[in-house]
A and B are shown apart, each in its own frame.
Chain A
Amino acid sequence: MNNQDDIILRTENLTKRYGGVHALEEANFTLKKGEHVAIVGDNGAGKSTFVRQITGVEQPSSGDIFFEGQRVEFNSPLEAREAGIESVFQDLALCNDLDVPSNLFLGREELLFKFGPFSILDEKKMMQKAKEVLERTAIKIPNLSNHVGDMSGGQRQCVAISRSASFASKLIIMDEPTAALGVQETTQVENIIRGLKEQGVPLILISHNLRQVFNLVDKIWVFRRGRIVGEVIAAETDGNEIVSMITGMQDGVHEKASYI
């Protein structure tokens, strides 16, 4: 095992079953500090299920999660978030009827006056901070007080990513952040990810786009039918090998050419 101090996240035999469906089987995963890794796998391989377990959206059927050396049990997304794990979910988890600052600060609003649920919001401060955060990402959103439902997919994804990147987080997880985006928007998101690498924020990226994966990450974890079937250093492998691992077939590149 690596030096324990280097490891930010580790799972031990992490398992999730939905009734009879074995969505995730005994996953042993490690992530080092500052490391950017990708999780790849076919549809239904269990990637999103894995993410849901370590972000507190669901609770595993068995197995353990260690975060910063401590065994953790997240009973809600809030608990994972408070521990420093931020996530950008596959299905754009934004409120379309709220504007940009409201979405960025949802669940951790800046307050003028604290009084439980009746606390008064400090909208000026949130707007100011939102501007600063989005300026750093070089994303152009003309009017932050527009509802995010009126924005393009790229702008919304950038808001979602900025939300996770803007809070002092210890780990960011993105589940297919560019799946619904155009070429330009994808590039913008990739630039944000590069920025996180420079800042030393560790990242787990789930992506179907192998070129993107090779461009962005240090290490690739391959999931197949609920199991981890391999971990490879990105610089020491190529697309053919990864595709073979994803499909479980030799020379799978011909059948699964769409991955490249």
Chain B
Amino acid sequence: MTSSSSTGGYKTVKSWKDWLPKDVSILMVLLGTVFIFEVLGWFIAEQSFIFNTQRLTIIILQMSIIGIIAIGVTQIIIMAGIDLSSGSALAFTGIVAASFAQTSEYTRAVYPALTDMPVLLPIIAGILVGFVLGGINGGLIGYAGIPPFIATLGMLVAARGLARWYTSGSQVSFFIDDYAILGSGIVPVIIFLTTAMAFHLLLRYTRYGRYTYAIGSNEQAARVAGINIRAHKLLVYTLAGGLYGLAAVVETSRTLTAQSGAGMLYELDAIAAVVIGGTSLMGGKGRITGTIIGVCILGVITSGFTFLGIGSFYTNIVKGIIIVAAVAADQYSNNKNANR
């Protein structure tokens, strides 16, 4: 900054990185990861890792659910917030949605009078309950001024408790056929990509997105500019909650059962995907497209470890390392920017 006053100080020389679209480097990481597992696959398991329909299907299905959650988390992190409650929220919203999706052929339904309902009812129920949970998060953070980490940690515990309370711990299954479709075949992927597209447009072209980035970038400046910070935080967390509800519908439909233990640690996978996808935990920076790639990277790693027969505890260790590495890289590039 000091040397710049004579020229007006703008950077004229761009590094080659500035010319590439922003997500290319993350895409390379994805391709690299796939390549490594592919090579290891031929060496260790003597078969292709990626050219395997069954494996690809599982990766994609699993990714879609984390992906829908991660979209909600992306906008929260862009706003310099955090949400630890998505996994528990998925469990509770899932169990509520499922309770409206049961078939009359099953005699011990949660609501015997509400069986064989149109499929829209459980979907709306899941999303609405998600709105409420997200709205409570947003209210605590925006209006009561509770730090996002604390507020959503409370919700992490409370929503899990609600999920147990709702059916006294027993799981919900025996769904109508229409509900089962939501989690089968290509449907979850369509739901994920449609949601991703919608939120990409929302963040890029609307006031909603502009304010989300502004608050994450400099909350004080956003307030002085006249943005209603509290209301906006409420809205962002509420919409995220709705996405958790949507993810819960897909998840319960895919597994054909809803249980209070569902979605364990999904919040960490979602946050990891967002951070790997290039969204800064410091706020102000991030894109849905990056998150989609981040979700893919995470899915490939998880599946790749299973494929190579490496235990899930190793997977978790590696995931942990990746999250820390991604945050460190973000920190490093932020420092570099601040110093130039």
Contact = CB atoms under 8 A, between A and B. Distances in A.
Interface of A: 57, 76-78, 81-82, 87, 89, 91, 93-98, 102, 106-109, 111, 117-121, 123, 140-143, 146, 149-155, 181-185
Interface in B188-228: 202, 205-208, 210-211, 213-214, 216-218, 220-228
Nearest to B338: A149
Contacts of B226: 76-78, 81-82, 107-108
Contacts of B8: 140, 152, 154-155
B213 A97 contact: yes
Which 9 residue pairs are nearest across A and B when measured between Cβ atoms?
A152-B9, A78-B226, A182-B5, A97-B284, A107-B225, A107-B226, A95-B217, A97-B217, A106-B225
Nearest to A79: B226
A98 B213 contact: yes
A42 B337 CA distance: 33
B4 interface: yes
B1 A152 contact: yes
A117 B232 contact: yes
B2 to A, nearest CB: 8
A56 B229 CA distance: 15
Contacts of A102: 210, 213-214
Contact of A95 (B1, B5, B221): B221
Given A151-B9, A153-B1, A154-B9, A94 B206 contact: no
Give the interface SS of chain B, mostly helix, strand, loop or mixed: helix
Contacts of A146: 10
**For chain B, which range describes its interface: under 10, 10 to 19, 20 to 34, or 35 or more residues?**
35 or more
A111 B207 contact: yes
Contacts of A149: 337
A87 B224 contact: yes
Contacts of B202: 118
A146 B221 CA distance: 18
A117 B202 CA distance: 10
A121 B205 contact: yes
Nearest to A106: B225
Given A142-B10, A155-B9, A95 B222 contact: yes
Interface of B: 1, 4-6, 8-12, 202, 205-208, 210-211, 213-214, 216-218, 220-228, 232, 235, 284-285, 337
A102 B221 CA distance: 12
**Max count, chain B CB within 10 A of own CB: residue among A89, A111, A117, A152:** A117
Given A109-B207, A154-B8, A154-B9, A89 B224 contact: yes
Contact of B227 (A57, A107, A111, A153): A107
A91 B5 contact: no
Contacts of B213: 95, 97-98, 102
A143 B12 CA distance: 10
29 contacts: A57-B224, A77-B223, A77-B224, A78-B226, A78-B228, A82-B226, A89-B224, A91-B220, A93-B220, A95-B214, A96-B217, A97-B216, A106-B221, A106-B225, A107-B222, A107-B225, A107-B226, A109-B207, A118-B202, A118-B208, A119-B206, A123-B205, A142-B10, A143-B10, A146-B10, A149-B337, A154-B8, A155-B10, A184-B6
Contacts of A185: 5
Given A93-B225, A98-B214, A150 B207 contact: no
Contacts of A106: 210, 214, 221-222, 225, 227
A140 B12 CA distance: 13
A78 B218 CA distance: 16
A119 B207 contact: yes
Nearest to A142: B10
A118 B226 CA distance: 17
Given A57-B224, A87-B224, A108-B226, A117 B218 contact: no
Contacts of A93: 218, 220-221, 224-225
Contacts of B223: 76-77
A93 B221 CA distance: 5
B5 A154 contact: yes
A110 to B, nearest CB: 10
Contacts of A95: 213-214, 217-218, 221-222, 284
Nearest to A115: B206
A151 B340 CA distance: 10
Nearest to A114: B207
Contacts of B337: 149-150
Contacts of A94: 218, 221
Given A76-B226, A93-B224, A117 B235 contact: yes
B267 to A, nearest CB: 25
A28 to B, nearest CB: 26
Nearest to B5: A182
B214 A120 contact: no
Q: For B207, B208, B216, B224, which residue has the most chain A Cβ atoms within 10 angstroms?
A: B224
A120 B206 contact: yes
Contacts of A140: 8
B10 A141 contact: yes
A155 B216 CA distance: 22
A109 B210 contact: yes
A119 B216 CA distance: 20
